[in-house]
Amino acid sequence: MSLSQIYSLLNTILPFEWLGYDFMKNAFLAVLLITPIFGILGTVIVNNRMAFFSDALGHGAFTGIAIGSVIGIIQPIWSAVVFSVAFSVLITLIKNKTKTSTDTVIGVFSSAAIALGVVLVTSGSISYNSYLVGDLLSISPLEVGILLILAVVIVVLWILFYNKVLLVSVNISLARSRGINTMAVELAFTAIIAVTVTLVIQWIGLLIINSLLVLPAAAARNVSTNARQYNVLTILISIVSGLIGLILSYYMDTATGATIVIVSAIIYFITLGLRKRFA
């Protein structure tokens, strides 16, 4: 199906004013792809208490963008992907090979990365504001296609390796006793988070991207009674937050990524109030 056919279909089934522009259609399709991805990854991030880690990846991506700009790469986001993956792998290896606490290792790498990024952007003429705030409405059809490929890859990996990832999250010692290479699982998962965060950061923004990963999963955890319910609710909350945030940002003329996060935060506090009923 061509993009023009998709646009025509959207006009037919969703004849709303806010969807009357091509840039809104692109943003709408991007939200439908980004939010389930973040929902899937967010469940494991919350289960593994990795919120600080995913935030550190944003700092690593920022530094990668700065490095790419300094050395003259036309699309510095790709240098950021490489740097973020290396960043995540190094953190995971040191965390597992030393007795240093996880928070300390992440804190050291995060601080060093953001400091290096700031030095690079202040020593040259690098435009980085768009990466800090993000602009989902600027996403192009080609970039939507890249998101589609990323979404397919993550869903396939999730289907194939969900049980192993869940076991490592719940009890790493039990996972090792079952013959699971826990190091490989951790490295693969952190690399996937790094790639996802880095690619999406230009549309969501470094300052809030971690919130988009954590809030839907945290909200779902408040009202879930089992793992399946937790995963389904996280994805649903993520999608609903994304769509409501996109529509509100159109009418309120606000930053789309930030508006989505605010909606996610409101849902979190609602579920927090309902938590005792599901305890």
- 12, 137 Cβ separation under 8 angstroms: no
Structure confidence at residue 209 (pLDDT): 83
Please choose, from the candidates 195, 237, 187, 189, the residue with its C-alpha nearest in 3D space to the C-alpha of residue 212.
Answer: 237
Tokens of 49: 């208490």
Please choose, from the candidates 53, 66, 218, 215, the residue with its C-alpha nearest in 3D space to the C-alpha of residue 132.
Answer: 66
How far apart CA 10 and CA 74 sit, in angstroms, is 33
Burial group, residue 210, by CB count within 10 angstroms (0-12, 13-18, 19+): buried
How far apart CA 179 and CA 193 sit, in angstroms, is 24
The answer to whether the Cα torsion of 162, 183, 43, 30 is positive or negative is negative
- 212, 261 Cβ separation under 8 angstroms: yes
How far apart CA 45 and CA 15 sit, in angstroms, is 37
- Split the chain (279 residues) into runs of 10 and give each run's mean pLDDT: 81 86 92 92 82 77 78 73 86 80 80 81 63 82 90 89 80 82 85 87 81 91 88 94 94 91 94 76
Q: Where are the domains of the chain?
A: 33-207
**Superfamily of the domain at 33-207:** ABC transporter involved in vitamin B12 uptake, BtuC (1.10.3470.10)
Tokens 């530094």 correspond to 63
How far apart CA 44 and CA 258 sit, in angstroms, is 23
Structure confidence at residue 35 (pLDDT): 92
Beta carbons within 10 angstroms of residue 2's beta carbon: 7
Structure confidence at residue 74 (pLDDT): 62
